[in-house]
Structure formats: structure tokens, C-alpha cells
Amino acid sequence: MDGVSLNTDPVVDDDADADEFEIEGDCGMAKCISQSGVIQGENPLPPVVGMEFDSYEDVYYFYNCYAKEQGFGVRVSNTWYRKTKERYRGKLSCSSAGFKKKSEANRPRPETRTGCPAMIKFRLMENKRWRIIEVELDHNHLISAVSGKFYKSHKQLGIGTKRVLHLDSAEEVQKVRLFRTVVIDVEGNGSVEISSGEFRSSHNQTSQLRLKDGDAQAIHNYFSHLQLIDPNFFYVVDLNEKGCLRNLFWSNTRSRVAYGYFGDVVAVDTICLTDKYQVPLVSFIGVNHHGQSVLLGCGLLAGDTIEACTWLFRAWLTCMLGRPPQVIITDQCRTLQAAVADVFPRAFHCLCLPRIMQKVPEKLGGLYEYESIRMALNNAVYYSLRPEEFEATWEDMIHHYGLRNHVWLQMLYEDRRQWVPVYLKEIFLAGMLLTRPNEVVESFFDGYLDKHTSLKEFLDKYDQALQANHQLEVLADMESRNSGFMLQSRCYFELQLAKLYTNNILRKFEREVEGMYSCFCTRQINGEGEVITYMVREQIEVDGNRRECRDFEVLYNATEMEVLCVCGLFNFRGYLCRHALSVLHQNGIEEIPPQYVVSRWRKDIKRSYVLNHSNGGIDINNPVHRYDHLYKCIMQVVEEGRKSEVRYKDTVQALDQILRKLNLVEGRL
């Protein structure tokens, strides 16, 4: 037998009956509890199979916090040791588990246990972390959060388990012991295994964030401030084995609600990691109904390892309630690709085309005939209309310039289905993957963050960046709602969408309407069956200095009112292209079919950036519950009241009436 139990009798099976003992308040494990903190804004999460922790004591602390919140005590049922006296397995149970041994005393104490089945089992994994392997949440007796403070296991927890994040140490790196969990994927497949292979750095600099004087205090101050003004502020902290800050993720209410509206396509901006900024920031970005960038969460990583990226993605996914995006866009990086495949297996993973093309001078600039190679690459990437056309053009470039053994080009070709536009036409990208030459990706924090900005400076400017972004959206909302869009033509399609879409999107669509007039030949080439094939000829600009005629194939099904162009603009940008519009116009269609009117661009949809909460679970006798619920309700009133001058006045008047009524009630008491 490999191990022995902590109990005096050897344990053959972990389900076997065994003497149990209760952790008393003055024992070693209980002492470590008072040094512990919480993992995020609200704590604790219920135990789930697959959660991982840095130590045995962290598992106990986590389960004890959960028990106190639910209203039951905890006892250690079993702990298994190897022959080397190393612990490798444990079982924690409800304090009502099992039954006491029969006593021969004259006045035995009454039986208080009920044989409760609630428990967790956990074991030491190969990566030296403790993983929960079995969970039973149901009790066979009544539990109450009010009674939790009377259990011995809760003695050292004080008045509550929710605490301020302390960051005060000599190096201003927090030493508070926060338990670190690997968040479970939504399919329940357990946690990720990270191998100690080529992607993991062994340098100490990747095991903790490099913080300067004042940085830790800035984090503490900013998070404390956000927790006060935003009850739904979410953050997760990851500490290394020494208790130092390694990784950090946070997201405010607005970002969490925005994800519900615009979370179908998400970009992960890691430019601060690749360009070695002082602030190792990773941003999750979406695009709103105006085509503007919207922040969906932020993280700080000690290093760009698979483990760190996986931890961050799982933290973000947990924040968004386990709802993965349909498409996720990242830089071309093997570390990111491995983490995305693990955490978002069902999402389509795109690689950022502009960032790849920005590397061309660096990767190919030293080659003979570089300019000709660059033009050939651009031609293959941007102007191929079908996969076979790209393959042929690429092969001609490789053969003609002798690039068969170029490692970077080989890697690009292997990943071609994730970044070359011709392979992405069936994926809806909402304009987030830029597919035209010379387009540049702008960072959400441009103007607020550069390579030399310190973390403290960034946090000082963070709210300014969010407010500026919010103001742009508010102004665009007002413009779209209150001022009519100046139509450049009297085209039926433009008139139709002017009533529905925001002005920013209309300006982009207007270019396609104008482009219809550059499509000088639309002819039917195949009319068999319900689907008719048209060929639309357009004169396009190539390489910025010459024009050539191209034929675009458009399929049209009059029965289903479907139109599909080989250029793929609808999925790339979210509105029909000039070629499809030309075919609809030629067939006498005066309105864009409803399946091509995208709801994410509509201005008539009410979007409130307040989390939707019901009264469920509100204890009106609890002042904290009352405060949180009233705050969330009033924020909904604020969101509605700010939308116009009339609403603002009505809101102020209604609030005054409520205050007067409350003062009258108080006067009667």
C-alpha cells in the first residue's frame, strides 16, 4: 500500500470508515486561516471538481470559508500520507458527518451528528498543486448562515470572510495568502494541465510581477475605490508559492454588461507583452453598435507563458459567467494559440492580420528583392478571392524568390486558415479583423499608455481612458438618435438603414452604396435552379497606385432572398457589399432582406450597462443586502435618466419626491 492515513488505523479505501477529528481553533491549520484573504470581489465560490490550490492548507481555508458562508462547520475526515510522510490526499467533511462512538459514561452527551454526506476530496497532482477530485454539496440537515459563527472551525475567521486586499510589505508586493484556483471550463472537463515544456520560462521574473515603489499601493487604492463605487466589480488575484503577486485580472460592471451585447467577437490585445512595456497589460476588446472599441476586461501577467495566459483566459471566462465568444482574435503566438485552444475550444481563433503584416519589414526586409516580395505577398493575401487562387499565388512567390526554407513564411502558411481573409469569409467578424491593406490596429489605451508608463501612472489614467471611451459612445448615441443622417444619395437601401443603424455604421455603409456606381457591368452567367449566378465587374485600386478590373461572383436566391458575394464583406464588416447591392438592385429589390440587417448596429435597441438583478436572495433584514440591492436599482434609474434632458428632469423630480416621502416616514417614527 502506497500511503497511510493520518488516523491511527491504516486506510485501505478512501471511503472506508475512519475515526475523524475536528480542527480546533488553536491548531496549526487554523492559525494560517487568519493570514488568508479572498480570491475576488465576492467569496467564496462553491467547490467544483477540478479546482486547484497551492497547498493543503489553502484547500481547507477555501472550504471553511464556503462552509461559514453556507452555515456549517468543517472537520478533517482523512489525510493520507506516502511512506515519505508527504501528504498526497485528503477529505474534508461537514462537522455533522458520521456518528460519535458509543460512550459508556453515566451521562453521555447527546448525539449531534447526522451522518451528513457533504464533503470534498482532493489530492496532490504531478504539478505539486492540490486538486479537488470529488464534491458532495447536499446536506441531510438544515444549515443556516446565521449559525456558522458558532462552529469551532470558524473561530479564526473573525466577523467575515470578505476582506480588503492588503498590499503592504517592504517591497510593496502583497504577502496576503490568497488561494489560487484554476477556473473550470463550462463543459466541466476539469482544469488544464500545463506541461513543463518549451513554453514555460524558468526565470524568476515570470514568477511574479515586477512592481516599482508605489505600484502595489496604487493597485490597493484603485481596487478599494472600485469596490466602493461598483458592487459588481470583479477581480481575481494569482499568487506564486511565496505569496507574491503573479497575475491579476479585473473587470467592472460596464464591461461585464457590454459583453452580453457585443461578446460574439473578442480581440485579445497583448501588444504590451510583445513590445516589453513597463505595464504587462492584456486587454479584452469588443466593438459596440457604433463600431467603437469597448473594453471587456484587463489583466496583468508576470510572463507570456502558456500557464499565465490560460489562467487569465479562465479568469475572464468566469467573469463572463462561462459564456465563451464565437470568435477570438489574438496575435500570432504559439503560447496564445495553445491557451486559446485549451480555454475556448469551440471558438474560432483568428490571428490579427495587420499585426502579421506589420512584421513583414522585420522578417523579410533583409532579403534580396524585398520590395518585389512584399508586393507579391500583399497580392496573395489581400486580393485573392478564392483559396485556390491564394494557394497558387503563394506558391508562385515561394518558388520565384527561393523562399522554400524561410521559417517565418512556413509558419504563416501553416496558420493560413486563421489569418488569410480568403479562408475567413464564412466567419462573422463584425469589422474587428481588418482585412484591407495598410489598416492599423489601434490600442484601446492609445494616448494613456506607452512603453515607459509606470503601473501607478497607468492606474491614475485608467479611469480617464474609460470615461473618454464612454463619452464617445454617449455622444454617438445622441447624434444617432437626435440628428438625421445626411444621405448622399436617394438609394432605397440607404434610406432603409438610415432609420435603423447608428450614424457611424451608416457612414461605412454609404461607401458601399457609392461603390455601386463603380460596378459598371452586372451580368447573369448561370440561371439553373433557384440560385442564379451573377458576375459583377468593378475597377479596384491595387497597391495604391494602379487600378485594374476584377470580376466578383454573386449568388442570388430569389425564393429565400439570399445573396452571397465572393468578396465576403458582409461577414467581415457586418453589412452588404456593393456587388451584392448591385444584384439586388438589378432584380428590383428595394429593401435589404431582414437577415442582412444586423441587430448589433441598430440604434433603436435599448442597451443599459447595469447588471440585471432580481429580488431573489435578498434578505431585507440584512442592511448590506438592502444597500447593495438599492444601489443596483438606482443605477438603472440613473442610466435611463441620463438619456435626455426631459428624462433627467423627470428623474430628479421623482427622486426628490422619494426623499420627501422617506423624510415624512422618518418623522412619524
- Give the tens place of pLDDT for each residue, 462-510: 999 999 999 999 999 999 988 777 777 778 899 999 999 999 999 999 9
Domain boundary among the residues 601, 635, 652 is at 601
Is residue 28 over pLDDT 70?
no
Q: What is the pLDDT of residue 205?
A: 46
b/e code 55-94 from CB counts within 10 Å (16+ = b):
bbbbbbbbbbbbbbbbbbbbbbbbbbbeeeeebbbbbbbb
Q: What is the pLDDT of residue 580?
A: 95
Q: What is the CATH number of the domain that holds 300?
A: 3.30.420
Domain boundary among the residues 319, 352, 385 is at 352
Does residue 401 lie in a domain region?
yes
Give residue 104's pLDDT band: very low, low, confident or very high (50, 70, 90): low
585 in helix, strand or coil? helix
Give residue 127's pLDDT band: very low, low, confident or very high (50, 70, 90): confident
Q: Do residues 392 and 324 both lie within one domain? A: no
Q: Do residues 62 and 136 both lie within one domain? A: yes
- Please give the sequence-ordered ranges of beta strands (E in DSSP) within 503-649, or none if there are none: 519-526, 531-542, 546-557, 562-565
Comparing 5 with 425, which gets the higher pLDDT?
Answer: 425
Q: What is the pLDDT of residue 513?
A: 93
Give residue 242's domain range.
215-352
Q: Do residues 385 and 406 both lie within one domain? A: yes
Does residue 13 lie in a domain region?
no
Does residue 614 lie in a domain region?
no
Q: Do residues 553 and 522 both lie within one domain? A: yes
Q: Are 148 and 71 in contact (CB under 8 A)?
A: yes
Q: What is the pLDDT of residue 262?
A: 94
Q: Do residues 312 and 285 both lie within one domain? A: yes
Q: Do residues 575 and 504 both lie within one domain? A: yes
136 in helix, strand or coil? strand
Domain boundary among the residues 311, 326, 352 is at 352
Is residue 194 over pLDDT 90?
no
Q: What is the pLDDT of residue 534?
A: 93
Give residue 91's pLDDT band: very low, low, confident or very high (50, 70, 90): very high
The model's pLDDT over 310-362, given as tens digits with 9 standing for 90+, comes to 999 999 998 888 889 999 999 999 999 999 999 999 999 999 999 999 999 99
Does residue 407 lie in a domain region?
yes
Does residue 342 lie in a domain region?
yes
Q: What is the pLDDT of residue 128?
A: 82
Give residue 291's pLDDT band: very low, low, confident or very high (50, 70, 90): very high
The model's pLDDT over 385-441, given as tens digits with 9 standing for 90+, comes to 999 999 999 999 999 999 999 999 999 999 999 999 999 999 999 999 988 888 888
Q: How far apart are CA 447 and CA 453, in angstroms?
A: 11
Q: Do residues 536 and 496 both lie within one domain? A: yes
Which amino acid type is present at position 49? V
Comparing 154 with 430, which gets the higher pLDDT?
Answer: 430
Is residue 592 over pLDDT 90?
yes
Q: Do residues 221 and 248 both lie within one domain? A: yes
Q: What is the pLDDT of residue 146?
A: 61
Is residue 193 over pLDDT 50?
no
Which amino acid type is present at position 603? K
pLDDT cut 90: percent of the chain above it: 46
Does residue 520 lie in a domain region?
yes
Give residue 53's pLDDT band: very low, low, confident or very high (50, 70, 90): confident
For the chain, what is the domain count? 5
Q: Do residues 343 and 382 both lie within one domain? A: no
Q: How far apart are CA 622 and CA 633, in angstroms?
A: 17
Is residue 39 over pLDDT 80?
no
Does residue 533 lie in a domain region?
yes
Does residue 34 lie in a domain region?
no
Lowest mean pLDDT among 40-54, 142-156, 157-171: 157-171
Q: Do residues 407 and 326 both lie within one domain? A: no
Q: Do residues 277 and 403 both lie within one domain? A: no
| Mean pLDDT value across residues 156-183 | 35
Q: What is the pLDDT of residue 180?
A: 36
Q: Do residues 330 and 264 both lie within one domain? A: yes
**If you average pLDDT over every residue of the chain, what do you get?**
80
